[in-house]
Structure 1
């Protein structure tokens, strides 16, 4: 059994784990050793490979709205934030999101959300059913009261390009990526001491970051606490229209 020590151990090396590795390795006040442990270096089955890579600002929490706005700025000015001319330019296709309310309760919620979002600089507007019909005459709106729509800084971006850049740039800064699986965590009920790997190795850690995505609850359980995260199946549908529409949809 090999014993190693790292200042930071990140469990999960996809988008969130690689983001943490990049930000830490490029922080001017951090010079520690970082290990990223990834169970599937092909990333074929991780959430990062199956996400639609979409951004929206229509949340009911100020923190979530601000996180989304930070992400928008990161995407739009990716090369600037990376401070590297070799970094890719990332486009954001701002088709926007639209939420439709068919009950007064949800309509009131959308109105409250819009006021909060607007106060934080988001471009969300409330549209009546008639206004939606004028913009999108092919929608069936008989049971719709109103909608909230933000066509600014909401839409699709190339998440795969950002993930690939963060991962490679972190490695160039000395971050170690290891193909292995965490099977146990040593702790004293107050802090984590080490992680145990399927290979039999034990890695001492100053800090452990749980970036295991939908498996985050399994990792948390190894450390002795419950995390309310669970994987759920989601579906995406692609279809061809007999008569293609002449405009983009939110």
Structure 2
């Protein structure tokens, strides 16, 4: 029996809660084999990011060529991609690969940290907007990231769908507007595109939410790799992540903002 394969292109989190590590855990938790292309190496834990070192564009290209030249990849997730040179390299390699073999791409535009600090400079944001958004099957921005892509203020609840539609006009087939930065007691995400969904859940109060964006986008990619539609993959990913957040406090990882429990359905249940 063969299992579907998904590829993540993202940065490494040495603390294991986000980035490549969260993506691979998510793929595995959802029954998908994970391959990876590392764009950056970070020295971080649950309390701080101590250092970041970017991988060269040539090495990023070599990793993409090696994986796509051998593995039957059914979906690609893109996370942290660093500077404009790496973004351009990823886009060039994927355009060539997708022209011969269309593969769904989930793009998590990692541009703004939970602290509110910008992670990409203006040139890199422009490259991401121009080069990667047109390749995306699903774009999964949080509210600050959507705002920066559109050069606007973050959306209020009543404007989330409009901003999502405006992002679709930049190239993605679908946009999932995530409400994780909102303040209401209910968190409401909106999927816009050929199909529309509204996904709501009670906002859970826990400090252990590190890697939620990485994990959600990877869960969507896992669903697409397994042959689900975008709506089906997004619904399953949303429900799975709610369970991972609910079980996050059971892990007790680190002294700061810990990760969600990727394997809450497999081990560690009370």
Sort the TM-score into its range (normalised by shorter chain). Answer: under 0.3
Structure with larger RCO (C-alpha < 8 A, sep 6+): 1
Q: In terms of Rg, which structure is larger?
A: 1
Instruction: Tell me which protein shows more helix as a share of its residues.
Output: 2
Q: TM-score, normalised by structure 2?
A: 0.26
Q: TM-score, normalised by structure 1?
A: 0.28
